[in-house]
Amino acid sequence: MKTFAGRVAASLLSAIGLPGLIAQTSDEYESLAIDLATNPDRLAAIKDKLARNRLTTPLFDTELFTRHIEAAYRAMYDRYRAGLPPDHIVVPA
């Protein structure tokens, strides 16, 4: 992926379990779009998979996201209060 938006899209597609929708080139993207537009069964299968994965993948788990970001904020604040410089923060899963 050459662009930030492309990398974000690829990351989101991977996180939701649909890496087959990631296109590396404009030609791949066009081919995939035509395939999905002309193959309603494949498109329906992808929509079904998306609907299922939306309920089971961490990407849409807002409670987990909230716990993780709150833990990150606490870790940042703890570093600040301890007089430590900014650094990478790892939030355990």
Torsion of CA 62, 65, 67, 70, to 10 degrees: -120
pLDDT in tens, 9-55: 999 999 999 999 999 999 999 999 999 999 999 999 999 999 999 88
pLDDT tens-digit map of 72-84: 999 999 999 999 9
Say what the pLDDT of residue 1 is: 66
Alpha-helical regions (H) of the chain: 4-15, 26-38, 40-54, 62-81
Q: What is the pLDDT of residue 92?
A: 83
pLDDT score recorded for residue 60:
86
Return the pLDDT at 72: 94
In this prediction the pTM is 0.67
